[in-house]
Structure 1
């Protein structure tokens, strides 16, 4: 069994694998009471005024206590982040990291407006949304119950999260993630192609970042 798990993990592309590992380790650390959620959440005052800069990072890796909702978000983010990294961003890891980095900055800016101390599920919806827009005709079976086409996937997942938690507030972060994902898709697939006619800082990682990932 360990060999099988190790083989499965090593097959996940690096950015998705790192994101998955840090998310699982963060929730386990909270579950084992090594840290508390009060040390992880994001707020502009605690982060930038009190100098607790790590909060701008840990907010993206805590998916909540280990539960059905935790498994739900982790499974779908891992599945579609992996598929996106293996297809659209194959051999372009720096561009994928840049997409997530810019999306993270947007989410940190929007967080106070929607009272979102944790932004992990919001960021997770960015690759889900982008993948769904780039594969508009792909049929998807949800839990073996019904089939939809890819563009309806984010809406279906937000609705399921709403039902799972019993309140629309639980789905607010997912909706914000969809909005940020839409901006990312527009800037990469619409603006650069139809309005600019070439690559921009929003669609391509800076040269130094590409070199850091061993890409030219």
Structure 2
């Protein structure tokens, strides 16, 4: 069991930052401190802070773990390098956008990005949110954005995650299948050397992720099931 979901565990391990061993002022995204004072760690640490421990923190942790795990088990099974590339691509885009918007922590946006990619790759899964709403998976990011608004959070973070998730989904799943389309996103060979095991079957055809559930607000079932 210790070898399962390595990418998710590395990301969630950052939750130790919540123990106040490090203050948020040492983590937040600040272009001036990054480029003028060479505090380059902020490029990474701003993704690792989700606020003080509470409902919002637990909500983000649960969704981050769950959808990260389902992507890693499903459409990225046996393709660890490709999954790491999603992290790098999404993080890079969010950092670039972060230069133009007033956001200091991008972890929630990253979670929404993963949710968006999963939801678009599983369009026929029906979701149930807190037993109140029934909808199909592609609407999940928008439902989460509405819920975030009810909690008093800025929807700019959710919109950023949705935008970056859509860019990845379009470049990876939509544009290459269009007439005259080409594959723009290619995982660097160095990542494949580092992360992909020699035993991985390149012809493996993963089954779609069956369930986003396990929690009352996120259970779903495939249409016709």
TM-score by length of 1: 0.86
More relative contact order, 1 or 2 (CA 8 Å, 6+ apart): 2
**Counterpart Cα distance in 1 of 2:104 and 2:76:** 29
Match of 1:179 among 134, 151, 163: 163
Does residue 214 (structure 1) correspond to residue 196 (structure 2)? The answer is yes
CA contact (8 A) 2:80 2:196 kept: no
Match of 2:107 among 110, 114, 120: 120
1:17 paired residue number? 9
**Counterpart Cα distance in 2 of 1:188 and 1:179:** 14
1:83 paired residue number? 70
Deviations 1:63-84 (A, max 9, x none): 1111111111111121111111
1:146-185 mapped onto 2 (5 Å cutoff): 146-165=133-152, 167=153, 170-185=154-169
Unmatched segments (≥5 aa) in structure 2 = 199-225
CA contact (8 A) 2:171 2:183 kept: no
Aligned residues: 198
Match of 1:74 among 50, 61, 64: 61
2:46 paired residue number? 59
**Counterpart Cα distance in 2 of 1:147 and 1:82:** 23
Change (3 A) 1:211 1:74: same
CA contact (8 A) 1:26 1:61 kept: yes
TM-score by length of 2: 0.83
CA RMSD of aligned residues (A): 1.7
Shift of 1:196: 5.6
Deviations 1:120-158 (A, max 9, x none): 011111110000001111001112232210010000001
Q: Give the structure with the larger helix fraction.
A: 1
2:175 paired residue number? 191
Unmatched segments (≥5 aa) in structure 1 = 1-6
